[in-house]
């Protein structure tokens, strides 16, 4: 059976979109400009704060040194998030009380860079606010603004510590699909799934679509940060930038189970994770013996 051609397919593969003149949309101009600006500011700040290691260092030195770290981590986050390159697949079989599931992990490096950015932002804003307060009489408005920024960054770190914001995962079991993204959670039972779509939004995204009457469970995992939206109709939107798996492989892996209900039992065994790790995400006919051994 011919596999669906995805709109973002890797070059030199059967999944590549026909037409050699199609631009590589992953080179987002705005992201390139932002990353370049962050690197420039980071280098400038590092030069300005180079005296932080001296015994007579000042608050200005500390401010610029933290700013340099923040800007360089910001540039690293943008590069890792938008241009992941070839990533190592993180998929495993997990035993749970209700039975086994196949779990595709989130990209820990990208999430770690995000958390580090917030930590640097907390120290930078709070330190600057304190320096301004100590050097002025009264309470300057800029100090209040910086304190509010520090409070927002600190609140983000608290939400991470409480598990309300996390790197996330995509969990597939014999009963359905559960997405645990950074800020939202969504679940669709297989009986309600009607199809899967590959969507090009400037980055690869996969939509698992449900019926209008689907038993669709969804929620925001944090009330403070609403950086991710929930779709208006029953649908799980998988942003490939957040997961440690090639988006083309993931699409064909999901497509296989959406179209062949008989194989969904495999998701409750180690066979599914093994197949994805071996680079056979949409192999319907290969390794049938291994599949049979896994589900009996």
Band the pLDDT of 296: cuts 50, 70, 90: very low
* Angle, alpha carbons 158-152-61 (nearest 5°): 105
How many C-beta neighbours within 10 Å does residue 131 have? 17
Structure tokens that stand for 261 in this block: 């209900």
Band the pLDDT of 2: cuts 50, 70, 90: low
**pLDDT tens-digit series, residues 111-154:** 999 999 999 999 888 888 888 888 777 778 888 898 999 999 99
Structure tokens that stand for 62 in this block: 């500390």
DSSP bridge partners of 5: none
How many C-beta neighbours within 10 Å does residue 75 have? 20
The answer to whether 108 touches 151, Cβ cutoff 8 Å, is no
Which residue reads 């241009």 in tokens? 83
Instruction: Name the average pLDDT for the chain.
Output: 82
Q: What would the DSSP string read from start to end of 145-163? A: HHHHHHHHHHHHHHHHHTT
Give the residue, 63 or 268, on which the prediction is more confident.
268
Give the residue, 8 or 52, on which the prediction is more confident.
8
User: Does the pLDDT of residue 191 top 50, yes or no?
Assistant: yes
**pLDDT tens-digit series, residues 24-57:** 444 566 667 777 888 888 887 777 777 656 666 6
Give the residue, 23 or 92, on which the prediction is more confident.
92
Give the residue, 134 or 270, on which the prediction is more confident.
270
Name which of 34-43, 93-102, 202-211, 238-247 the model is least confident about: 34-43
Q: What is the DSSP letter of 49?
A: T
Give the residue, 234 or 36, on which the prediction is more confident.
234
Percent with pLDDT over 90 in the chain: 47
Q: In the prediction, which pLDDT does 111 show?
A: 95
Half-sphere exposure of 36 (CA within 13 A, CB side): 7
């Amino acid at each position: 059976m011919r596999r669906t051609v995805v709109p973002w397919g890797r070059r030199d593969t059967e999944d590549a979109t026909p037409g050699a003149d199609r631009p590589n949309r992953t080179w987002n101009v705005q992201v390139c400009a932002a990353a370049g600006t962050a690197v420039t500011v980071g280098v400038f700040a590092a030069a300005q704060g180079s005296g932080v290691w001296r015994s007579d260092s000042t608050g200005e030195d500390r401010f610029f040194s933290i700013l340099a770290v923040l800007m360089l981590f910001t540039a690293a986050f943008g590069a890792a998030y938008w241009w992941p390159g070839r990533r190592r697949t993180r998929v495993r079989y997990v035993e749970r009380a209700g039975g086994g599931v196949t779990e595709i992990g989130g990209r820990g490096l990208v999430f770690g860079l995000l958390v580090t950015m917030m930590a640097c932002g907390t120290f930078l804003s709070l330190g600057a606010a304190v320096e301004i307060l100590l050097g002025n009489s009264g309470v300057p408005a800029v100090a209040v603004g910086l304190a509010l920024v520090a409070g927002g960054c600190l609140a983000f770190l608290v939400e991470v510590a409480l598990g309300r914001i996390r790197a996330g995962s995509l969990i597939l079991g014999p009963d359905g699909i559960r997405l645990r993204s950074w800020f939202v959670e969504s679940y669709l039972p297989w009986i309600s799934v009607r199809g899967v779509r590959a969507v090009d939004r400037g980055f690869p995204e996969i939509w698992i679509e449900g019926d209008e009457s689907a038993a669709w469970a969804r929620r925001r995992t944090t009330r403070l940060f609403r950086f991710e939206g929930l779709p208006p109709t029953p649908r799980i939107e998988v942003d490939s930038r957040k997961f440690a798996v090639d988006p083309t492989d993931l699409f064909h892996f999901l497509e296989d189970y959406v179209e062949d209900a008989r194989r969904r039992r495999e998701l409750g065994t180690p066979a599914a994770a093994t197949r994805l790790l071996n680079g056979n995400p949409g192999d319907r006919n290969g390794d049938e013996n291994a599949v049979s051994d896994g589900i009996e």
